[in-house]
């Protein structure tokens, strides 16, 4: 995967082969019974993390977002921001990155972040936005450092309603006026399944879930 061109189909198949995207019966944080499950924490070896970083880098470059550095919310954002920064460097886009501590360190170098000083236009790198809590906390850290959050990139947009009619990502875009780049969304997954007759049973369940809980 040396090209800078991003392919949603390639990414979906990558997550399926890695068993990161699974089908079955799962309970979400909102207490909903979901026919699919997605967790980037299941990328657990060097090759997988390297490929994941390249997919993120490709999606970022494809979106033509202007940014100066990457920021990853602990914990999953730590490996995501590091692997994405490495991949961007391989595409001749060398940028610094940082991530936060769960608790501020009072000794040694101190502070709430590790890595490069948080400054300029900061792109937040995360896995999935559920309630948007980690994104809101990240924005607070970035702004308290005197920097400017300029966007968010995530693996999956579940496109589910939150407490209202909008999804968590739609609420973030509305409240903070920040663009959110998703490597794929629920609609993309439905489109992918619809092109594969052997996955018709999965398509039916995922489509039903979207009809019941999908955001407007």
Q: Would residue 105 show up in a list of annotated catalytic residues for this protein?
A: yes
Give pLDDT, residue 109. Answer: 52
- Residue 164 tokens, joined: 């209202």
How many Å apart are CA 176 and CA 155, to the nearest integer? 20
For the stretch 150-161, pLDDT in tens is 999 999 999 998
Please, which pLDDT band fits residue 29 given cuts at 50, 70 and 90? Answer: confident
Q: Would residue 8 show up in a list of annotated catalytic residues for this protein?
A: no
Q: Which of 29, 64, 102, 107 is catalytic?
A: 107
Structural domains of the chain ordered from first start: 8-213 (3.40.50.2020)
For the stretch 157-191, pLDDT in tens is 999 987 788 998 999 999 999 999 999 999 999 99
Q: How far is CA 24 from CA 67, 130, 149, 174, 202, in A?
A: 38, 19, 36, 33, 9
**Average pLDDT for 89-117:** 82
- Does 98 score more than 70 pLDDT? yes
For the stretch 71-87, pLDDT in tens is 999 999 999 999 999 99
Using CA atoms of 47, 184, 69, 77 in order, give the dihedral in degrees to the nearest 10: -60
- The whole-model pTM stands at 0.92
Please, which pLDDT band fits residue 31 given cuts at 50, 70 and 90? Answer: confident
Q: Which of 8, 105, 177, 202 is catalytic?
A: 105
Give pLDDT, residue 108. Answer: 47
Give pLDDT, residue 5. Answer: 87
Those residues whose C-beta lies under 8 Å from the C-beta of residue 37, and which sit 6 or more positions away, are 21, 22, 23, 24, 26
């Amino acid at each position: 995967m040396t090209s800078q061109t991003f392919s949603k189909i390639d990414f979906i198949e990558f997550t399926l082969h890695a068993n990161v995207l699974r089908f079955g019966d799962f309970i979400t944080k909102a207490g909903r019974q979901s026919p699919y499950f997605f967790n980037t924490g299941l990328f657990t070896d060097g090759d997988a993390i390297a490929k994941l970083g390249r997919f993120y880098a490709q999606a970022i470059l494809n979106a033509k977002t202007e940014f100066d550095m990457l920021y990853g919310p602990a914990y999953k954002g730590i490996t995501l921001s590091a692997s994405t920064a490495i991949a961007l460097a391989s595409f001749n886009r060398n940028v610094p990155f940082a991530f936060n501590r769960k608790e501020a360190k009072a000794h040694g170098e101190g502070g709430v972040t590790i890595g490069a000083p948080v400054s300029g236009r900061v792109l937040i790198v995360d896995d999935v936005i559920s309630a948007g809590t980690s994104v809101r906390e990240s924005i607070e850290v970035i702004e308290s450092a005197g920097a400017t959050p300029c966007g968010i990139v995530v693996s999956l947009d579940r496109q589910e309603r939150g407490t209202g009619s909008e999804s968590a990502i739609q609420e973030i875009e509305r409240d903070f006026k920040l663009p959110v780049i998703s490597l794929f969304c629920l609609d993309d997954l439905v489109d992918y399944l619809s092109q594969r007759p052997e996955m018709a049973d999965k398509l039916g369940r995922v489509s039903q879930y979207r009809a019941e809980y999908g955001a407007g």
